[in-house]
Each structure stands twice: as C-alpha cells, then as structure tokens.
Amino acid sequence: MPTLKCPVCGNPVEVPDDAMPGELIEHDCGVVLEVYRDQNGNLALRPFEGVQEDWGE
C-alpha cells in the first residue's frame, strides 16, 4: 500500500493499492483528498474542493 503525503497537514496518507485517479480519500485531519496522476504518471493527492461546475453565469 503506497503512502503519500497529505498536502494539507503533511502527515502520511495510506492510499489503497487499487486507488484510481478521481478517488476520494478522507484524511484524519478532516480534509477530503482527491487522487490524481501528476505529469510523471505517479499517483498524487490534492485537496478536493467539491464539484466545481463551470457553466458560466
């Protein structure tokens, strides 16, 4: 099970082996993290800020 670093609190986050980009993981610090692939093709985490629909106004 890979362990990534929480971008918010800096503590380790255990990511399931079968985690897919787009998967959401709730961390102990209370933030929801989104799994994504960075430009190198590695799994990484970023804070999930909800569905941001940009339909314009």
Q: How far is the CB of 49 from Zn ion (least distance, A)?
A: 14
Q: DSSP characters for 23-54?
A: -EEE-TTS-EEEEEE-TTS-EEEEE-------
Q: Could you give the CA distance from residue 45 to residue 33 in angstroms, rounded to a whole number?
A: 6
User: For Zn ion, what does the binding mask look like between residues 23 and 42, x meaning CB under 5 A?
Assistant: ----x-x-------------
Exactly one of 6, 19, 43, 44 binds Zn ion (CB under 5 A); that residue is 6
Among the candidate windows 5-13, 14-22, 41-49, which touches Zn ion by CB under 5 A?
A: 5-13
